[in-house]
Structure 1
């Protein structure tokens, strides 16, 4: 299998126009590593198994794990209000400020607008200053009623760790995870990444990204850089121990994801939860500026897979790798990405037309023949790095639509739904976005 995968991996990066990628997987107690392509299209530096890639939001599971270490130590419980351990914490809603819990943060159910990408500098106080800026964040949805991906909540979670451990988040990460697991190729700060061979992202047209990484304040939500074998070692610790007495506590479902077609069916504590062919799967993905990563863990077989890529059709690429690899290793069929139905479905799409908006994104949805037209515009600090996206949406059923850009193999799904109070929302890209007009 190992030799065949090495050849196939190189074929897949060509097929999906990925500049470079790396893969590691644990199977039957052995770790296997592969790499193909280049780390930088301009320099032609070769990707190797020990190259560092940005794993983005896979970082969130590491941050959640460190908070769970405090839960196991009795420092607090998952249902402890954030304000009890972080008295200076504020958001715009005074009641949410008092009642939002650590569980809400780690399961993306706080309702706090989650895409505040704010550069608070490179100093050791950057996370603290970011949390101060959260005082203006409004609610994307009422506390606890649905799931919406929340980067902001994980930076707040990182600040809790800083406060309790008396160190910056980067140092807490080193002491609580990197050093105990003996990880040699895991860093957070660019000056440390530079000690290794490292990837840069690539954007539209295969161009090198204009910015290497996100601002330091995003650290607890998504700034780990690592080789895949180190990410696999982290996943392995959630199966075999080494970080938590009871890692399975993080696999307990906390909330159903309104759109189960994107990442998984439920959210646990940090982990995304799904089921493939009757096997429980815990996972997380990550996207930064032109880079993408995925981590999958299958407890019943003991298989752990980490794959990273630095551009191209990276989402479709990692899905293709998983589909082939899990079929070969464990005989597990990975569910295909949801696409349009074989027979067109007729639905009344007019009720979904309008403007949907949250921090960082504005979506304009209009009627068109056979479905809907979607325009997504990035707002805020990252707007200049992301061109508006337009695509048609085709109905799959009365509430579910799929669409993709021309030439893109990736289908994205959108689910329209209502909160218990009747408020209309669309769930797309793991985020709940309210209809504003």
Structure 2
């Protein structure tokens, strides 16, 4: 690999996307290459170094899954036993789900529980409190019915199982089971343990003219811990990747997990309704991508101002990591990784499919409101074309200088999949699945890995309307 050429091209990409700072890690054939760019904080101008720690966001889930699978290795947990086996008081609103939800369904995001856990606080008992506060949480979807990403709750339940078995707070468990045995000195799960002198600051971009500004939200709540609060360096995220590449063994020779458990993590998979944005399958703590027939394991993560991307290519003995403190997400990571992949001659990331604008769809099958607390999507039709309107959180919209409602075109790829082109220069193209047709209308909208059911009022209305000879578009 011609490093100078790669470094210059990546620097140009980061500048183009107004990214303040970044760390790139490349693990190829057992050798690690680290590249760093830019600054940690626009206010100080302090440069990013190889020791700079970034917030990993939901890439944390791969760390948590790895530690949880150690309990499986030890025979302390069985993936298909109900959660109640380990947390006898566990319950949600649905009695069947309460009795039957398993650890596997938490790991692969098919449990269907709404993230209705309130404010569990910032204490060491946060995950115990979360479990207590979901007793009335409804199902977004029936247990095991569809993949729907859980940002915090699912992995918090896993963390509480770990706490009950190990008798320690989850943050201590992560140190004892992973960080110390793997020889990691810059990786932490609790913000209070982060060396602030090494930490990158997150940035948001409201306009190209203004450029990146420091985030008003410095860290995620502790409730996100097992699902989003690990901080690390590019090299130490590569250490995580190498455990998967080397059948459970860390670079320092420590056996972190059995090869059998690694195999289970990568081969136990469920389909993802929207296969285009991240990957067509979800395994145990990993996304499974298909890059032109090549299997790639991955996980992404974002906090409010920082982004992390990890890709593991076993067939090429390769892992790539990108940690940034601002800028675009999807377009940026793909352009950076494509530079490296092309230089290594291992192919590049497949682009999103082209829309099929000649596809004739019946808009009435899709039109409706799909929502969860805090997020509402409304699909409408205009002259036979589908549109999607997203209602933004008013505080977020005000800070970012955006309207409360943003409307996008939905361009069909197939009868169930659509592209959603950006409406501004700082957005990425997104893909959307609208699927699971009952009584002639779709029941779910899936985008950014999250599932949103048709609102209950719309579902009832659609069912009654279908009883007639024709189906009208619900409003």
Smaller-chain TM-score bracket: over 0.9
Tell which structure's C-alpha radius of gyration is larger: 2
Cα separation, 2, equivalents of 1:410 and 1:360: 21
Q: 1:137-216 counterparts in 2 under 5 A?
A: 137-151=137-151, 152-205=153-206, 206-216=212-222
* Secondary structure of the corresponding residue to residue 411 of structure 2: strand
Q: How does 1:214-233 map to 2 (within 5 A)?
A: 214-233=220-239
Please, what TM-score do these two structures have when normalized by structure 1?
Answer: 0.93
Cα distance in 2, alignment partners of residues 102 and 294 from structure 1: 25
Q: Distance in 1 between matches of 2:362 and 2:43?
A: 49
CA 1:95 to 1:380, structure 2 compared with 1: closer, same or farther past 3 Å? farther
Point out where structure 2 has 5 or more consecutive residues left out of the alignment: 207-211, 250-254, 459-475
Q: CA RMSD in A?
A: 2.2
Deviation at 1:266, TM superposition (A): 0.5
Aligned to 1:103: 104
Distance 2:303 2:390 in 1: 18
Q: Counterpart in 1 of 2:447?
A: 428
2:300–2:310 Cα contact (<8 Å) kept: yes
2:258 aligned with 1:245: yes
Return the offset for 1:370.
Answer: 6.2
CA contact (8 A) 2:379 2:386 kept: yes
Greater shift in the superposed pair: 396-405 or 243-252: 396-405
* Alignment check: 8 A CA contact 1:338 1:411 kept: no
- The size of the alignment, in residue pairs, is 435
Residues 257 and 66 of structure 1: CA distance in aligned 2, closer, same or farther (over 3 Å): same
Give me the whole-angstrom Cα distance separating, in 2, the residues matched to 1:167 and 1:198: 26
Where in structure 2 are the equivalents of 1:231-380 lying within 5 Å?
231-240=237-246, 241=249, 242-246=255-259, 247-341=262-356, 345-369=359-383, 371-378=385-392
Q: How far 1:120 moved relative to its partner?
A: 2.4
In structure 2, C-alpha distance between the alignment counterparts of 1:338 and 1:162, rounded to whole Å: 44
Deviation of 1:3 after TM superposition, in Å, equals: 2.3
Report the Cα offset of residue 371 of structure 1: 2.7
How far apart in 2 are the matches of 1:292 and 1:417? 29
Q: What is the CA-CA distance between 1:317 and the residue it aligns to?
A: 0.5
Q: Given the alignment, which residue of 424, 429, 435 partners 1:411? A: 429
Q: Provide the rounded CA distance (Å) in 2 between the counterparts of 1:311 and 1:373.
A: 29
Q: How does the TM-score come out when normalised to structure 2?
A: 0.86
Inter-CA distance 235–45: structure 2 relative to 1 (3 Å threshold):
same
**Is contact 1:49–1:227 with CA below 8 Å preserved after alignment?**
yes
Instruction: Note closer, same or farther for the CA distance 1:328–1:111 as it changes in structure 2 (3 Å cut).
Output: same
CA contact (8 A) 2:124 2:169 kept: yes
